[in-house]
Each structure stands twice: as structure tokens, then as C-alpha cells.
Chain A
Amino acid sequence: MSVEYEWLIGVGIMFGFAFAMSYITYRTLGSFFAFLLFFNSFVVWAELLPLWTLVVNILIVTFMMYLSITSKRGI
């Protein structure tokens, strides 16, 4: 496998683990994104994905938290 496609592995790990953990535990969209952020940190640390993915993820999670807090409904 070429080095150029290692990001696929990173994405796969990130989404796969996030989905699996979210499914096992809370089974909500919010927990999915939280686990996505969790695994994104590892994948970025392993240099499988660039840093900006983590930044985007943090922004998404932050936005979702904001929505969650303000909507009173939860996600």
C-alpha cells in the first residue's frame, strides 16, 4: 500500500472505532462525535491524518455542544 493512502486507514480507524464505541455505549449522535474526536486525536498523533482534521472535529463537537446546551433537547 502506498504512503499516499495511509489516510484511509486513519479515517477507517477513526470512524470505525467511533461508531463501534458509540454503538456499544450511548448510541447517540453526540457520543459518536465525541468518540470521533477521541479517536481523531490518536490518529492525528500517529500522523495518519493531518492536524486540521482534529481542528475541524473540535469545531464540530463544540458547535454540537452549543446546540445541545441551547436546544434543551439533547442530541
Chain B
Amino acid sequence: MVSNLKKRTFVLIFILLFVLSLLSLFNRTQYVNAGVNDLEYIFENDDIFNESMPFSNSTFNLRDSYEYTQEYNATYSFTNDENGENPSGWIITENGNSFVNVINEKHKHNKVVEMYYDSGVPIMKNDWIDDIMYGTFEWWMESTDCTNKILVYIRHDVANAPISLFLHVDKWQYIDNTGTKDVPNVPIPIDNEWMYIKIHFETTVGAYMGLSQYKWKIIINGIDSGELNLRNNEPMDEFYTQLETDDDYSVFYDGIGYSWDTFYNVNDNIVPIIDYSNSNQEINKCEFAYNITTIEPNKTEYPTINNEWIETDFDNEHIKTGIESEGEISIDYLNDHTHQFGIEKEFNYNNNGIYNVSLTTYMANLYLDTKGFNFNIYTYDDTLLVRLRIALDNPITKVYYYDGSSYVYLYSVDDGYFNDLIFNIYIDSFCILELIEVSESINTYYFPKLTNKIGINTIEFIGDVLASSTMDIYIKSIGFYINGSSYLPHDLSSLTINTNIDNWNDDIHNLFYITANGTFSLSVEYDEVIEAIIFPLTFFNNEMKVFHYVESEIFQGSQPYTFLILTNTTYQINTIQVSQVILTEDTNEYFMEFEFEGINANESYFYVSSNRLYFTLNVISNDTLEYIRANFNVENVYSSDRSISFHSDFNGDSLGIFGLDYLGGKSRFFLFPNYPAYKNVILHQGKTLDNFSITITDNNYNETYGISTGYIYNIKLIYVPDIEVTLLTTTLIRMLIPLMIILIPTIAIYIEFGKDLVIPMLILMSLICYVTNLIPIEVFFIIMLSCGVFIVENYRGRERY
């Protein structure tokens, strides 16, 4: 008995010593000689969102911008001629001290010809190969002094040129078969300003450009002189020009185009050549258009369009507006009132430059009464620059421009209803209106500006009703584009939405869309606290990016069709500003990307609360892969001597997978345990960690589970010089603690009471460890199985003995 007791005691002591020696052999704490570096994800924001609702249908089309060069495509653009030399292909006569030379630039036209009068007549002429019976001759011209004479002949012989044109004493004159006359209708020339001159002529019966035989016309800055008589009826083969007044003055020529030039088309030289090579989304090359929306549908008041637009002359009783579909407003004009409803936008753009302004409308008018609207553009000091009048006479849409005293008819769109109709106005020295219907260009028209003042301050849409019944106009977009300017004010490259939100509620997140075809930045201002998490989602690319927004930091996204979720618990969101900037490098060294597959992103998502990354997964489909995934792009973290650790708590309805992706290495996956756990995963040594991910998915394709939740926190990258040993220590400690709890009491009971109580003691201590979560159910089950073997063994042993 004593020797048995000694033997047993010895064995017990041996076991304890063995265990202690194991512990002492690997006696390093987890973090001795370790450091957390390069990565530590702390989820700081405390906003929780539970559902989403769209608060705005505004989409902001930040498009690729391109720059107009100062080159004009023409038969003669002088691009390759040397500065200071005569233009090639032209016969030049330089009398006295006059000259005809190519110069580098004049008023945003590159490479132009300067004719200078000084003590002699300068002459420039170009002989055509053949006699031209009809055609168009068009060019740009500018004079330093329009009181001094410029002669332009288009002729066959020296005498009696069929087209004899003069610019003299601030007016245009011509000579026909009856004598010298003023050219009717055309605008008064202005010193030091480019004029665009177009001459159509017809000496046959072909009715070129609608001309009768032996007629010509001149169109200056879009103003048509009407038919004029040729001086004689000969075909022409030469363009000739000279300066005559004995005074120091210069006349400049650029972009001379002949319609009979096979490489030239009429109107090619109106707009400068566009440089498509540089399409970076730089702030000074930004274009944007935006759709006008209202926030609250079916109002009986005028729409508050983001507080950026101001209403004029509104009659509450007789105008009803509302949202008919996304991104649009409709204006219903009711019953027999003449009144106006308008919206305007101020830009405060004071720079000179070429710009386009566009208006997109969709008209759905079922009645025959005459109504219409004006589209007005004002310069920097609110001088009227352009006015288009669109008169609606169902089904015909008639377009006019305002010349300062009356409306001049331009065009009728026969079927302008129930289609998107775009009025695109290009504004330079004069205006070019391009009408686009259903994405196809209908036609292009030219008309003068009402003023030569620069800049744009206000764009305005004013509708009016002249008679009874209802008219519906959907204003789909108003755009303002700057091209070729070297500076774009910040407010033009950004779009500010004043939300005036009444319907932000606590504990919900709000979804709105930013469509950005390039790089943009986003900032959000709250009433009091400038702090939010913004989750941009790119549903079309099935990605979601998360950018952590702290205080006034600006976030940047770079995907089109980006949707945003703004989280808000207690604060009123006032302003959301989107502006276009260049995405600089190294701004997002580590960032999270979210993926979705097969699930509704509004019902399954990640969110942050109490420093934890929570997830909600709503599994609703059978036989379908459904998951949400958070990808952590860590970018080239060297994996040797490193592990990654985290805490997690998943419930059992979903499957959590922790994935590690290595550059040039095999990916590894671990399952999240379905209980609160801490996990420290050694990285694959000698590799480069590129990305790790947390995937939450349906753990059974064939069932729907509804909503499952869980969270992860304290993701850290740990550096330990001897990481394998540290891992071993961790796992050993985790295993040995419950093992000791089970074995030591069992051995003690065995020593005291013999082997009859070994099995019950094993069972009891195992149960205690399972209930206290020291061991998982799988281990507990195996323990029970082994106890069953003991029972069988014990039974058989008794039988044998």
C-alpha cells in the first residue's frame, strides 16, 4: 500500500514536473520582444446604421474634361509656317514698310497671319487650282482698327471681282452690279476682336446653301446678311485681300477654309481643335453637369432644389411640382394664368474663356396651348449674355434666340416631346447652339452674343404660361463647362448640395449616389461636429470602399457610379460637397474594401461601433453563394517574424473565414470560431502579405438563416523575433489549462478513491470546462467518446478480472 502510494505520488509529481518543465521551456510571454507594427486596425467611429434610405436623387456627372487648343482646323491654319515668314502657299506683296508675316499667337489663336500697313499696301492672295462655281469660304479675321479699310476680293480677274467686300469705317460694304452697298444685318465689327466670317456663293443653278443663281451671302459671327448680288457672274479662282488706309494698323487672319478642299469640311474651323490626349481629372480642367432634384416629392409648393436655386415669381396656388422620376422635377402649369416659375444658379465666374452651357429638358405636354420657357445666361455683372426662347406648340418645339429687341427664329423640333432635348451653347466670340435630341445632334446654329462682357455669373431657367391647361417640363440637367481656360474657380469644380434635411433620423444611415467618372473628393459638414464615416459603395463594380473620415479630412474616391452611405446619429447634415481633384499617392496606405456577392447590400453590411467592426448578414436565398467580405489591403508587409491577431465573436448562423493572401504564395484560410475568441495567426514566413480578408457567408447553401451578426476587433500585426515559439506557447497554454483542470482533480480523486471515480471525474471536469467555454463542443464530444471507451474497457476489465 505504501509503495503503491509512493509510486503514485511519484507519478503525479512527475506529471506536474513535466508540465512545469514544458511551461518553463517555453517561458516567454506572448509579447516579450514583440511589437505591434505596420498594422493596427482600431475601429474608432461609434456610428451605427441599421437601414438605409435615399435622401437625394442627385447625381453629379464629373466627366472627363478636355482642353481646346488654340489651333483651328482649316485649309490654311499656318501651323507649320515659320514665325516672321510669309505664309506658304500665298502670294505676298509688301509695299513700303508693310509686311505679311506669320506670328505665333493673337488673342488665343495660335499661328496667325498679320498684315501690317506702314507706308505701303500689303497684299495677300491665294490662287485656287480650278475655277470654283459655288462653295463656302470661311475664315477668322481681326483688325486693330476697324475704321481702316480692308479689302477682300473673291475673283477671277483683277477687275470687277464677283465678291468685292470691304470693312471700312466700322461697317461692312460690298459692291454688286449696281454699286457699293452696306452689307445688311451683319454685326458691327469690333476692334481687336476676332470675327468669324463665312461666305457662301453660287454661280450655277445648283442652289448651294439655298442660294439662288448668281447670289452670295456673308455670315459674320452667325448673323446672316441674306442673299446678295454678285458683282458679276464669273466663276472664281482667287482669294485676294489687302489693306488700304494709310495708317498703322494690323489685320490678322487665321483658319482659312475652302469647302472645295477635300480635306476640309464647312464649319471645321469654328471650334478650336480639341486635345484629347490629356484627360486627367485636374481641378482646372473640370466639367460638370448635374441633375436637378427635389427631396420631398409631391409638394404643392415650388421645389427647393438643394438651396442652390432661387425661385422667381411663383404663384403658390397655381403651380404644382413634384418628382415624377428619379433625377427630375416636373413643373405643372395649371389653368389660365400668366406667370413665371424659374430657377437660377450663380457661379461667379469672372474669367474670360470659351465655355459651354447646356440645358436638358424633357417635355411632356398634351395640350395645344402655347407656352414656353427662356434659358438665360448672364455675365459676371449680370448683363444678359444669351437668351434662348423655347416655345412649346405641341408637338412642335420652336427655338429662338433673343437679339436684344426681338426673338429670332432658329429651328423647329417636330417631335421634341417625350424625348430628351439638349440645348448645348458654345460661347466664344459668338454663340453656337447645338440641338441634340435623343443623343443625336439635330443641327447647329449661330447667333450673336448680347454683350461682349466676360465671365458667367448666372444661369437661369424661366418658364411661363400664356394660357390654360397643363404643361410638364422635366429639367434633367443644366451644365456649365469650362474649356481651354487656365484657371477654374474652386466653386465651379465642385457641387455643393445643401440638403436641408428634415428626414435624417437617428440610428439609420442614409444613402445617396455620386456618379463620378473620375477622381473626386468628398467632404461633409455637420451642424456642429465635423465627423462622420463615409462608406462609398461602387455597386456596379461590386465593390465597396471605405474611407475613414476624421474631422475635416477630405476623402477621395475614384470610381464611377459611386454610392455613399452617410452615417448619422444625432447631427443634421447640412452640406455635402463633391469636387474634382487629383488623387495623390500614398494617401491610403491601408484601406478597406468591401465586397458583396449575392446579397442585398442594404441588408447585409459592415459597420463600426464601439471600436469593433460589426457585420450583419441577411441570408435569404437557397443554393446561392452569398457573402460579404472586408478586404484589408496592407500592401507588401513582409511576413517573416510576424503574426496577425484579432478578437472575434461570431454566432453560429454564418460562416466566418479569415483569409490571408501572399504575393507569390499560397493563400491560407482559417475559420472564425463560433464563440468569443482571440486568434493569433502566424503569417506564412518568408513571404509578403498582400491582403487579408474577413468573409462572412452562408454556411449552408441549402437553407436561409435570416440575419446573423458578429464582430471583429483589435486586428494587429505582431512582430516577434521567434514567432514560431510564441505561437507554440500560445496554443500550448490554451490547450494545457483546460487539460490540467480536467486531469489534476481526476488524478487526485483517483489517488484518494481509486479508479472507479476516474471516469465520472473526467466527465464532470470536462463538462465544467465546456460550460465555461474553455473547450469547444468538439473536444467535449471526443472526451465523452473516450470516456465511453473507458466505460467499455472498465466493464470488460471487470469481466476479465
Contact = CB atoms under 8 A, between A and B. Distances in A.
B92 interface: no
B792 A41 contact: no
| Majority-rule SS of A interface residues | helix
B11 interface: yes
A3 B685 contact: yes
A33 B787 CA distance: 11
B800 interface: yes
Contacts of A39: 739
Given A20-B11, A37-B782, A47 B789 contact: no
A61 B789 CA distance: 7
Contacts, number: 111
Contacts of B796: 30, 68-69, 73-75
Contacts of A47: 731
B800 A73 contact: yes
Contacts of B789: 30-31, 33-34, 37, 61, 64-65
A1 B792 CA distance: 40
A38 B728 contact: no
B727 interface: yes
Contact of A42 (B735, B787, B794, B800): B735
Contact of B14 (A6, A9, A20, A33): A20
Contact of B793 (A38, A40, A43, A75): A75
Nearest to A38: B786
Nearest to B724: A3
B527 interface: no
A61 B782 CA distance: 11
Contacts of B787: 34
Interface in A1-44: 1-3, 6, 9, 16-17, 20-21, 23-26, 28, 30-31, 33-35, 37-43
B734 interface: yes
B309 interface: no
B728 A16 contact: no
A60 B793 CA distance: 14
Most buried by B among A37, A41, A61, A73: A41
A16 B782 CA distance: 18
Given A24-B8, A37-B785, A45 B797 contact: no
B407 interface: no
B793 A21 contact: no
A45 B735 contact: yes
Interface in B748-801: 750, 755, 758, 762, 775-776, 778-779, 782-783, 785-790, 792-794, 796-797, 799-800
Contacts of A40: 782
B188 interface: no
Given A23-B11, A28-B797, A37 B786 contact: yes
A54 B783 CA distance: 12
A72 B795 CA distance: 10
A74 to B, nearest CB: 3
Interface of A: 1-3, 6, 9, 16-17, 20-21, 23-26, 28, 30-31, 33-35, 37-43, 45-48, 54, 58, 61, 64-65, 68-69, 72-75
Interface of B: 8, 11-12, 14-15, 18, 682, 685, 724-725, 727-728, 731-732, 734-735, 738-739, 743, 747, 750, 755, 758, 762, 775-776, 778-779, 782-783, 785-790, 792-794, 796-797, 799-800
19 contacts: A20-B15, A20-B18, A25-B750, A25-B755, A26-B794, A26-B797, A28-B793, A31-B793, A38-B786, A41-B786, A42-B775, A43-B735, A45-B735, A46-B734, A61-B785, A61-B789, A65-B792, A74-B796, A74-B799
Given A24-B747, A26-B793, A38-B762, 12 more contacts: A1-B725, A17-B739, A25-B758, A30-B793, A30-B797, A37-B782, A37-B786, A38-B783, A38-B786, A41-B778, A45-B776, A46-B731
